[in-house]
Structure 1
């Protein structure tokens, strides 16, 4: 539950401003059987798409007529408007409920409005009364839309998973860092030369030689493992010779004599108070460093150094173990968070999103979506499409044409595209199918297509709408690449008008036929009366 709330919080930040749906009615009080007009409108960005519900009834009010959606550009925004004529044949107070309007993939509700239906007085002395019929059950046709994932939502989902895993990783890292570590080890050799660098040759002789002899004693106490610091010069030299003999490493008697000479000189300075100049200090310091160097090259590794080396290896192994634990925890947490993200969005939506990214938005992609039923042009043609077709600016110089309108969805070079055109003639015109086919070929040539091959046949859909079909193949250049495409054009014509629906698709799209069948089987001519 907490995970879901966190997601809702994250995505509410990125949702942006919320659109509102303007809701108005022509009257709030009508007589039985009288019609009122409900108008829904909203202003959105130019690229946004708005889907209004297509219903047979709204609440307990019957939809007499659902007008085509109007779209008007106003500055940087576009106003979308939908009108419904409603009526009711029983007196009472009725509520027009809030209707769900889809703006891109987001559902927004309109306002609810109360309507009063007034009974009409009837003179029962002059008119025969009949039994009251039971209310007819009217089923409303709703469109359920599955929310299509956006790139922003997917990025936020991945970011959420990464942040969850990262937080756990940092907690474990801090916990392991706080564990006690072995202090940084400095070898006796390095420690001796570090202390030599701190000795000041300009200081008084007693202090200088005391420091030098202490450094040498400390070095041998650690490396040869005997008590040296509290020993006299005589005792120290004896212990040094004994340790050299026991350790069985080669060191010349001359080197030991040089150490003994340096220590005796130090004793004379400390106890006989002999004064030594700074030049002698400097030379004796260098001599002491050279003596340590000589011993360091021949001394075996001390037990302490061995223990430190073993401890260091153990510490490195432990740190590697902690690192592996952190990395495993990060990966597991990331995967669990990803599974949670997928569960939140829905497995089908996620697979749908990545399938579209990998394979492109082909017929399979759109067939899984909920479609929109809309009316276009004059004469009016109703059709079901994945998205609303946009009006194209088109004119005709043909003197016989009274009205021409064209609508399209996507471009011919896309994996799928739909184009719809309606033409109304001023007078009766004899249908010339060959001329219609030639006009279609000319239009396709204007789209810069090549190698067109066609076949013609008759058309009849499940709604008994009949006409003609021109279908075939063509090639088109897109992004410096030649694409093999197919087209399927339905013509519905008579002496007073022509309605044409063209569908183009990638020649390799195996489900394109199902897509075409769904579009063409939804085609229906609408007899629309002129508005009063």
Structure 2
């Protein structure tokens, strides 16, 4: 007997450990007013080497998860306690069951315990609390979605285009100003003044300064005296200048030629021998060039020009200038357009390489289904028996009685239909409700008709075919709402033929059918097959379906 007792004591810790649950579930209270938060706690007891995954949930059964709290970790001896809390709420009073949820420990599933709770209605003292009439329905304004992104993109493109345009205009204006001087001396004087404004030698750019200075002098000599100064060496230029002065009967002093030659040779030393003149020498060289140009200009014999011919030449010159300006303006516009288009192509190409073509198509070019999915959704009830549903846009009342068979309409007491879009669009949603006429039974009593959901689904599919659906594939399964209301679901694909555009589109559809107290409730979804954003919308819409009983 003692031996058995010792064996039992020895094995007792083993039994206790084997019976200890790894997952325990608790809730802060079993009853709260509607809209209040229930805190569901899930505790996992694991070893340090084990991994635990708590699910990310938007809903737990009929309750909405309004807060997913961080995991608390408590170390106890050689084990860890991981506690995950979910904040739950419900806005309809009644008794609900928080169902089991799946927790993964080392990738093995463990289920939590289900818990029954009660959401109590809020009592209103109508004697103390003032009551107000229900407000009229306020129409929902159509939103522009992410309009600001497109506006920002257009502004950036416009700014880039304007920047390119004015940059080119400034460059061309400078170039045109260089081309339209009336005389060579006017051009040379203006270029000398512009050179001083640049302050090149003050910035240490002596070589560039001398290069521009001598180019101005050589250009003047080539244009005014008709000597090939730009291609000549300094020695060749001086010889050619002296020969031209004799030929043109120009009076040049030896000092003028000597000063010009000295500055040209100084420039050669700066450019090729890396000589660095002092500041006062640079100033003197600049003055010598200017004086030499003015002296040369005065020495050139002036031809007698007819006044009328001079006026005609000036008018012709102005006409050429205007024509040149117009040509340059067209070039600026063309270059700007090409630059902006090139920028768009480069940007688009960058996103295609880094993000993929689907990203560019959906986020840069735009995707109607994506805009609907990411827009502001609306939750509302439609028809009688009412269907409460969350949708990307408010559904509008439509009349489909003209396309339904007359024998079917004769059995309907009341029918309401609401829709968004059409089969011509990327996404089509319709909610329909109907109440059927009661019929007398053998005892003469009125009783509600027994609605065959399978036949109702057939009627709905015939309506779809009447709208242009061809080659329809039909699958069917049972469907249950989160409140436990049983119905059927028809789904599949068909080819939609658009008679207006003579095109065909492969479509996917889902149709839910429910029957309550002689009333029929239907939700139909249609969208292009393979549209992942439309698939996500369909899942969200169907998950939001809540049904109400018919009101007599």
Q: What range describes the TM-score normalised by the shorter chain of this pair?
A: 0.3 to 0.5
**Higher RCO, 1 vs 2 (CA within 8 Å, ≥6 residues apart):** 1
Normalized against structure 1, the TM-score is what? Answer: 0.41
Normalized against structure 2, the TM-score is what? Answer: 0.40
Query: Structure 1 or 2: larger helix share?
Result: 2
